[in-house]
């Protein structure tokens, strides 16, 4: 029997063995409800046939666009270099600030998928800090 992964315990499974038939709870936008989906189905649904494009972004100390809006994008990965200091993301595309954005600490990688990945995403980081961005 597959283990059900809920939003509450997803943060506890980082680095744990995850099998393709494990079940995850995801939001089904069209049905306006939560549904169970296997990891394999999730990857196929959100990444089927997709390729990732890599870019590098450099902080300036001010809020800046990380990625422009794209109706076809399914996922964005943002990775902060180990040598960076704190940074933040704003998946709504608004003016980003360290005290109200999604924190991105040195060495962290954040994935934004689904509908949220389609909009513009902004970030803020100290001048010269490097971020690797994959989108697809």
Domain of 130: which CATH number? 2.60.120.770
Q: Quick one: 19 and 71 in the same domain?
A: no
Q: Starting at the edge strand that comes first in sequence, how are the strands of the sheet with 87-90 ordered?
A: 64-67, 121-125, 87-90, 102-104
How many domains does the chain divide into? 2
61: nearest Cα among 91, 85, 93, 90 = 85
Paired tokens of 113: 């998928």
H/E segment holding residue 62: none
Q: Which range marks the domain in which residue 33 is found?
A: 4-47
Q: Indicate the pTM of the whole model.
A: 0.65
Q: Read off the DSSP letter of residue 43.
A: H
Please count the residues of the chain.
136
Q: Quick one: 84 and 25 in the same domain?
A: no
pLDDT tens string, the chain, 136 residues long: the values are 444 444 444 444 444 455 656 676 777 767 777 777 776 676 666 555 567 889 999 999 999 999 999 998 888 999 998 888 889 999 999 999 999 899 999 988 888 988 889 999 999 999 999 999 999 8
Q: Quick one: 33 and 71 in the same domain?
A: no
């Amino acid at each position: 029997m597959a283990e059900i992964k809920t939003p509450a315990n997803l943060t506890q499974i980082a680095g744990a063995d995850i099998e393709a038939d494990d079940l995850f709870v995801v939001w089904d936008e069209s049905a306006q409800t939560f549904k169970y989906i296997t990891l394999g189905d999730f990857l196929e649904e959100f990444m089927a046939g997709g390729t990732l494009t890599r870019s590098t972004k450099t902080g300036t100390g001010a809020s800046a666009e990380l990625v422009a809006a794209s109706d076809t994008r399914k996922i964005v990965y943002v990775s902060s270099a180990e040598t960076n200091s704190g940074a933040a993301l704003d998946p709504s595309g608004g003016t980003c600030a360290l005290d109200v954005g999604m924190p991105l600490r040195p060495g962290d990688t954040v994935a934004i998928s689904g509908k949220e990945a389609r909009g513009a995403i902004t970030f803020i980081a100290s001048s010269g800090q490097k971020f690797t961005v994959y989108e697809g």
